[in-house]
Structure formats: structure tokens, C-alpha cells
Amino acid sequence: MKFSERFRVEPGQKITLARRDPDDTARLPDKKAAHKRMKQNLKRLSELQYLLYAENKRSVLIVLQAMDAGGKDGTIRRVMGPLNPQSCKVISFKTPNEEELAHDFLWRIHRVAPRKGEIRIFNRSHYEDVLIVRVHSLVPKSVWSKRYDQINAFEHILAENDTHILKFYLHISKDEQYQRLKARLDDPTKHWKASQADFDERKYWPDYTRAYEEALSRCSTNHAPWFIIPANKKWFRNFAISQILVEHLSKLRMKFPKPTADLSKIALE
Ligand code: ATP
Ligand code: MG
């Protein structure tokens, strides 16, 4: 079985997060082994990014979702950090502003979708509109419940227009979240990260779990699969995401475009 298949949610598969071990390391012996393979993956990923940019025919959209302190920032730093910023961009979605709220929920998402040749990383995404919005009833159920199908339709449009979509849910345990939030209180270099909201949201852990389970179960499709990444161990999380990115981007069989000029006629003085 390919590594990525192990963590992929099959279309229509019913997900129960309690049955997924956030400490799983896929029999990888240790951190050292993971680092070694991750280094190779990052090198390959840079090559694939270069090809994607040169080819300029399709784009890649990576969606990162997690509970608070789930490790989205760390993933971006470690896995996407080494990519060339020329054609890789991170978009972080915060509470929608007045203008965004005056539009349909996908408006602010579609306008920042990746252009051809580019990789975009969504740090949170349109899934917030069936997560925090559902947990806190920010819109009535009659509105958010329709969004699963709307999201699938939207992602289908992107995919049919050559956007390759990969979605990662970073799966941590409630105990691990406790440790990480505690570190935000104890470690002076992390104080800036401590927000009341993170501590308040923790009380809604079961509601978020249910909301995530429904999003993962209903919105994993062949053209935009969800992966549930065991994320208690940061080294495994980083390795796993780098591995899945390499496996998927390699499958695109990208090629350098043919030169536009007749190279035999170019004289280099
Ligand atoms: P960390 O995981 O480190 O806490 P963060 O991603 O939570 O980082 P913050 O600036 O703390 O970053 O929070 C952004 C907030 O915006 C989150 O609470 C998120 O749920 C909220 N948000 C994002 N999209 C929406 C949305 N569509 N509707 C309502 N709230 C949203
Ligand atoms: Mg937060």
C-alpha cells in the first residue's frame, strides 16, 4: 500500500476520529529515520515545484486544518518553508471581515485560489464555514448543512480547471493540545501565541470532533482527497505530509515545456 493511501479518506468513508491513533508513526523506527527521508522528500519537492512553475499549466492547493495548536504553523515552517517563495504562497484565513461576510462564504476563498504554476497553502480554509461556524451556530443549520455539497461542487470546479487539491487534517489528541496550550502559557517565547479563544474553544472539543468527522466523511473526493495525519509527533507529521506531497506531485507527470525559440538558430556571442 502506498504511504498516502494509508491516511487518505476514501470517498464516502465514514470517519470516527477516536479510532485513529494520533501517535501512529506508520512503523517508522524513529525521528532520525524520518528526518533522513524527509530531507530527500524536500529536495524532490523543490524539483517538482520547479517543474510545476516551468510547465505553468496547473496549480496545487494544499489545505491545512486542525484543532487549535494542532501544528499548522509548524507544518508550514518545516515542510513548505524550504520551497521557493517565487511560486509558493500561504494564505491564512481569519474571522471574516464585513465585506467577506457580505458575500457567499466561498467568495473570499476563490479569489485567492492558486494561479497556474503556483502552490498555495491554505492555513485554515473554507472548511471553517462548516467547523467553527457550525459549532457556534454562526449561521442556522439550514445554511451550513448545505455547504458540504457546495464545497464539493466548488472543489470540483477548481479540479476541472487543473488545480490539484490535497487536504490535510492534523490529528492531535486532547492531551497533546493541553501540553501545547500549556507551553504557550509557560514559555515566554510562545506567550504571543496564547489567545483566549484557543482556551475557550478547547471546551468545544467534542463538537469540533463531530464537525470534523462530518467534513472529512462528506468532502473527501477523488479530485480533492482528505488525509488524516497522525500529528502528536511533529517529526512524523512533517515527514508524512512531505511524503504524500511527493507521491502526489510525482503522479502528475509534469514535463518541461518545449522551448519557444529555435535554439539552433540562437547565436551566443
Ligand atoms: P493557532 O492554531 O496557532 O491558534 P489560528 O489559525 O487559530 O492559529 P488565530 O489568528 O488564532 O489563528 O485564529 C483565527 C480564527 O479565525 C480561528 O479561531 C478560526 O476559527 C477563525 N475563522 C477562520 N475562518 C472563519 C470563518 N469563516 N468564520 C468564523 N471564524 C473563522
Ligand atoms: Mg488560534
CA-proximal residue: ligand 1, atom 8 (nearest): 68
pLDDT at 179 over 80: yes
Domains of the chain: 3-252 (3.40.50.300)
CA dihedral sign, ordered 237, 31, 17, 135: negative
- DSSP-based three-state secondary structure for 145: coil
CA of 186 from ligand 1 middle (Å) equals: 22
- Encode pLDDT of 190-249 as tens digits: 999 898 988 899 999 999 999 999 999 999 999 999 999 999 999 999 999 999 999 999
The pTM score is 0.97
Radius of gyration, alpha carbons of the chain:
20
Task: Please state, in angstroms and as integers, the Cα–Cα distance from residue 207 to each residue in 56, 105, 126, 150, 179, following that order.
Answer: 42, 21, 18, 22, 20
CA-proximal residue: ligand 1, atom 13 (nearest): 94
Cell (9 digits) for 89: 504562497
- Encode pLDDT of 15-63 as tens digits: 999 999 999 999 888 899 999 999 999 999 999 999 999 999 999 999 9
Cell (9 digits) for 237: 507529521
- Encode pLDDT of 50-109 as tens digits: 999 999 999 999 999 999 999 999 999 999 999 999 999 999 999 999 999 999 999 999
Mark out the alpha helices in the chain (DSSP H runs): 3-7, 31-55, 72-75, 98-101, 107-110, 132-135, 141-144, 147-160, 174-186, 196-201, 205-218, 234-251
CA-proximal residue: ligand 1, atom 15 (nearest): 94
pLDDT at 269 over 90: no
Q: Give me the pLDDT at residue 198, please.
A: 87
- 71 dihedral zone (left: phi>0; alpha: psi -120 to 50; beta): left
- Encode pLDDT of 117-171 as tens digits: 999 999 999 999 999 999 999 999 999 999 999 999 999 999 999 999 999 999 9
pLDDT at 178 over 80: yes
- The binding-site residues of ligand 1, defined as CB within 6 angstroms of any ligand atom, are 68-69, 72-73, 93-96, 124, 128-129, 132-133, 193, 195, 197-198
Looking at the CA of 106, name the nearest ligand.
1
Pocket test for ligand 1, best of 95, 108, 139, 212 (most atoms within 8 A of CB): 95
Q: How confident is the model at residue 14 (pLDDT cuts 50, 70, 90)?
A: very high
The Cα 65–Cα 128 span in angstroms is 9
Nearest-atom number in ligand 1 for the CA of 201 is 18
pLDDT at 2 over 90: no
Q: Give me the pLDDT at residue 29, please.
A: 84
Contact 181, 69 (CB under 8 A): yes
- The residue written with cell numbers 480547471 in the block is 161
DSSP label at residue 125: -
The Cα 126–Cα 134 span in angstroms is 12
- DSSP-based three-state secondary structure for 202: helix
